Amino acid sequence: MASLFDEPEIPPDPRTVPLAERMRPKTLDEVEGQDELIGPGRPLREAIERDLLQSIILWGPPGTGKTTLARLIADLTSADFLAFSAVLAGIKEVKDVMAAAQDRRRRHGRRTIVFIDEIHRFNKAQQDAFLPRVEAGDIILIGATTENPSFEVNAALLSRSKVFVLKGLDDEAILRVLRRALTDADRGLGKEAPEATAAALAMIANYANGDARVALNLLQLAVATAPQPAGRPQIDVPLLERTFQQKTLLYDKGGEEHFNIISALHKSMRNSDPDAAVYWLARMIEAGEDPMYVARRLVRFASEDVGNADPHALVVAVAAKDAVHFIGLPEGNTALAQAAIYLATAPKSNAIYAAYNAAADAAQRDAASPVPLHLRNASTKLMKQLDYGKGYRYAHDESEAVADMDCLPENLQGRTFYEPTERGFEKEIKRRLNGWAEIKKRRRE
């Protein structure tokens, strides 16, 4: 029985609801930028419209339509639909939902679609709780994630789901979303009749960086703060420049984008492209990456991809690391840029990297033969009696400072691990090695 003191529910003022929520697509045709997935005739669209959907994982950047698709599925399906967030739900809630879904299937023959936003935030135990019900067909699982499912969703659950990749919206798709919001009188800003210049809309689209939610939030903020000389909000570039702060770059220091961009930096330097190298470096630094992490990767690159083709590369990379440690950011960003550009323009050789890998493989696979006696130090009388150091030839006493003496274990004699290239300083190293090999050959003969 209702109490005399119960207050009737008052519907929220539409003006207090975020524009992005009000403009959320109501049909599949309103979804922008994902035609490859849900365009007419596409398998995912067919499965949704025919109510034949199986468990899926929706993977994509923020603001690309993952939650929207889940809600549209809820409207179009005959199954019961339940949505909850992995941020708020615990293992108890998961088990309760699974038990209810099982009971509903047994009693009424109805399946349950369970939508889990940010499924990557569930730990392995929580994800495992879904498996029996997915396998039994009691639930259809829809997971949404901004992280790579290969790393964030356990293998058993992933193998029972189809992964669909949503892409960040291009500027044209964002512009269509913005224009719709400006003219829609029911859900959008049409009643206020704001006027926005083409340059202003393009600026918002660029700033949004593929995220429709960000674009709509920015538009709503711009309209709220715009002057109204003729009774209509006027949105132009100077207004946006005063309103916007620094652009937020899509970057997760612990997620896939972190590894994607550092990979792009490495491969750009390896391909001797200084422009791409400094761009990817700036992307990381401007997004808030730890500069010492970047410095460590540059030091590694200097040995792995430049090596002795330019021995100064390692010196420059270590100097950049020391400079960043000494002065921090933002002043240290130029030291990192200097190192990245130097490495990108240096002659390249992976001979050091290959030599170490070959030597490590020999150390792991071949018999660990003892150090040859002539290479051992005879630091005691007993060691001398056991022939430690016998036969050792001091290179400085030899003509041309090289002795005809094997320094590898007997089972590895004749093996070559380091093969210098003809690039940069390694060309000189190769000349030296060939010359010493000739000297040793003549002495043996």
The predicted pLDDT at position 4 comes to 45
Range 12-36 average pLDDT = 84
Is residue 23 domain-resident? no
**Per-residue pLDDT at 5 exceeds 60:** no
User: Which CATH number characterizes residue 108's domain?
Assistant: 3.40.50.300
Name the least confident of 30-39, 133-142, 265-274, 424-433: 133-142
> Distance between CA 264 and CA 343 in Å, rounded?
14
Is residue 273 domain-resident? yes
pLDDT bin (cut points 50, 70, 90) of residue 207 is: confident
Instruction: Report the number of secondary-structure helices (H) and strands (E) in the chain.
Output: 21, 7
For 149, half-sphere exposure in the C-beta direction (CA atoms, 13 angstrom radius) is 23
Name the least confident of 34-48, 80-94, 166-180, 312-326: 80-94
Range 349-369 average pLDDT = 87
Q: Looking at the structure, do residues 151 and 122 belong to the same domain, yes or no?
A: yes
Range 272-290 average pLDDT = 90
**Per-residue pLDDT at 252 exceeds 60:** no
User: Which CATH number characterizes residue 197's domain?
Assistant: 1.10.8.60
The predicted pLDDT at position 199 comes to 92
Range 415-424 average pLDDT = 89
Is residue 52 domain-resident? yes
The predicted pLDDT at position 248 comes to 54
Is residue 250 domain-resident? no
Q: Looking at the structure, do residues 66 and 154 belong to the same domain, yes or no?
A: yes
Cα 351 to Cα 198, 241, 416, distances in angstroms: 54, 51, 12
**Per-residue pLDDT at 16 exceeds 80:** no
**Per-residue pLDDT at 162 exceeds 50:** yes
**Per-residue pLDDT at 213 exceeds 50:** yes
Range 340-361 average pLDDT = 92
Across 37-46, 239-248, 359-368, which has the greatest mean pLDDT?
37-46
Q: Looking at the structure, do residues 160 and 186 belong to the same domain, yes or no?
A: no
Q: Looking at the structure, do residues 156 and 194 belong to the same domain, yes or no?
A: no
User: Which CATH number characterizes residue 421's domain?
Assistant: 1.10.3710
Is residue 24 domain-resident? no
DSSP state at residue 63: T
Range 103-122 average pLDDT = 78
Q: Quick one: angle between helices 171-183 and 212-225, nearest 10?
A: 40
**Per-residue pLDDT at 41 exceeds 70:** yes
Name the least confident of 89-103, 399-413, 430-444: 89-103
Number of Cβ within a 10 Å radius of residue 24: 19
Range 263-269 average pLDDT = 93
Q: Looking at the structure, do residues 212 and 332 belong to the same domain, yes or no?
A: no
Range 28-33 average pLDDT = 91
> Distance between CA 287 and CA 254 in Å, rounded?
13
Q: Which of 294, 310, 345 is the last residue of a domain?
A: 345
Q: Which of 210, 243, 276 is the last residue of a domain?
A: 243
Name the least confident of 40-54, 84-98, 398-412: 84-98
> Distance between CA 212 and CA 222 in Å, rounded?
15
Are residues 277 and 258 in contact, defined by beta-carbon separation less than 8 angstroms?
no
**Per-residue pLDDT at 212 exceeds 50:** yes
Range 141-163 average pLDDT = 86
pLDDT bin (cut points 50, 70, 90) of residue 88 is: low
**Per-residue pLDDT at 81 exceeds 90:** no
Q: What's the pLDDT tens digit per position in 328-338? A: 888 889 999 99
Is residue 16 domain-resident? no
Consecutive H or E run containing 268: helix 256-270
Number of Cβ within a 10 Å radius of residue 11: 5
**Per-residue pLDDT at 427 exceeds 70:** yes
Is residue 355 domain-resident? no
Q: Which of 243, 273, 291 is the last residue of a domain?
A: 243
Q: Looking at the structure, do residues 95 and 140 belong to the same domain, yes or no?
A: yes
Percent of the chain at pLDDT exceeding 70: 91
- Which two three-digit tokens encode residue 12? 């929220």
Our CA dihedral for 425, 429, 435, 438, rounded to 10 degrees, sits at -140
Is residue 25 domain-resident? no
Q: Looking at the structure, do residues 263 and 189 belong to the same domain, yes or no?
A: no
Residue type, 427: K
Average pLDDT of the chain, as a whole number: 84
**Per-residue pLDDT at 1 exceeds 60:** no
Give the range of the structural domain holding residue 98, as residue numbers without chain letter.
34-165
Q: Looking at the structure, do residues 176 and 160 belong to the same domain, yes or no?
A: no
The predicted pLDDT at position 2 comes to 46
Task: Tally the domains of the chain.
Answer: 4
The predicted pLDDT at position 373 comes to 84
The predicted pLDDT at position 392 comes to 84
Residue 209 CA to its chain's centroid (Å): 16
Q: Looking at the structure, do residues 123 and 237 belong to the same domain, yes or no?
A: no
Classified as helix, coil or strand, 362 is helix
**Per-residue pLDDT at 230 exceeds 50:** yes
User: Which CATH number characterizes residue 319's domain?
Assistant: 1.20.272.10
Q: Looking at the structure, do residues 236 and 269 belong to the same domain, yes or no?
A: no
pLDDT bin (cut points 50, 70, 90) of residue 8 is: low
pLDDT bin (cut points 50, 70, 90) of residue 441 is: confident
Q: Looking at the structure, do residues 179 and 298 belong to the same domain, yes or no?
A: no
Q: Looking at the structure, do residues 219 and 339 belong to the same domain, yes or no?
A: no
Q: Which residue has the higher pLDDT, 73 or 111?
A: 73
